[in-house]
Amino acid sequence: MGHAFHAACVQLCSSRSIDENIAAASALIREAAEAGADFVATPEMTSFMETKTKGLFVSAAPEEDDKALAAFRALAAELKIWLLIGSIAIRVAPGKAANRSFLLSPEGDIEQRYDKIHMFDVDLEGGESYRESKNYRAGSQAALAGLPWGTLGLTICYDLRFPHLYRQLAQGGAAFLSVPSAFTQKTGEAHWHGLLRARAIETGCFVFAPAQEGAHECGRQTYGHSLIISPWGEILAEAEAGPGFIMTEIDPAKVAEARARIPALDHDRQILAPSTAFDV
């Protein structure tokens, strides 16, 4: 496992304006790098937040034409940092986008991509309704990426509710997990901290969870509380309200320590399908 490093999570309140969001995110990424961050992660929907189909496809571009991605690649190279852009809506087909994470190297290269697997199709109390699958094509491939300090497993937001994905990533070698998110206010208040701590504890991984926070131009209200969590489930840093960033030192040796204390990743057993009768 690698040496200690500083990780930062940026918290945003993305609008519909790509230019505004590039400027806001870039300023905070730059601040984090100047404060000593070696790895910086931004939230889901970093480049723009849109709930209307028409507006989404006016703004979403193919990867090779996305100006936010180009700007962030240049910024990573300028600052010489590892930069995870939590997600950008990338046009992948007529009427379909991918909710895609990008891991950028200190040279500005795209080291890994991840398309969100689990679509947020839910009806909440108070009339809130979301149908992510209407406009987005679900991913089908889990993603790992090598960092100088260990392996990163990439996920996005609603993926958090599917623990088997995180176990697969950890058993595939992940020491760190990224969960860039735009949790709603209601679900965040109820479940954000509990789910993130559980994923860290279950896997013995550090968790980096940069989040959107606030009242967005498109009408969404997001919970915020960006978090960095240890492999033992301790909250190492938590964001307050509003845009900003959190940062802490990460000691990768803590992953092995946590897994030695509770070696649950090594104790999986094949379980038979549920039965209504118990055979002795």
Residues assigned a catalytic role: 44, 116, 157
Whether 278 maps to a domain, the answer reads: no
Q: How far, rounded to the nearest angstrom, does the alpha carbon of residue 183 sit from its chain's CA centroid?
A: 11
Whether 277 maps to a domain, the answer reads: no
Distance CA 218, CA 100 (A): 20
Whether 273 maps to a domain, the answer reads: no
Residues 55-91 pLDDT 10s: 999 999 999 999 999 999 999 999 999 999 999 999 9
pTM, to two decimals:
0.96
Contacts of 279 (CB under 8 A, 6+ apart): none
Residue 271 or 124, more confident: 271
Kindly state the DSSP code that residue 65 receives in the 8-state scheme.
Answer: G
Q: For 167, how many CA atoms within 13 A lie in the half-sphere containing its CB?
A: 12
Q: For 231, how many CA atoms within 13 A lie in the half-sphere containing its CB?
A: 23
Whether 275 maps to a domain, the answer reads: no
Residue 238 or 51, more confident: 238
- Number of separate domains in the chain: 1
Residues 37-49 pLDDT 10s: 999 999 999 999 9
Whether 270 maps to a domain, the answer reads: no
Whether 268 maps to a domain, the answer reads: no
Whether 165 maps to a domain, the answer reads: yes
- Which range of residues forms the domain containing residue 130? 5-262
- Looking up residue 193, the CATH number of its domain turns out to be 3.60.110.10
Whether 104 maps to a domain, the answer reads: yes
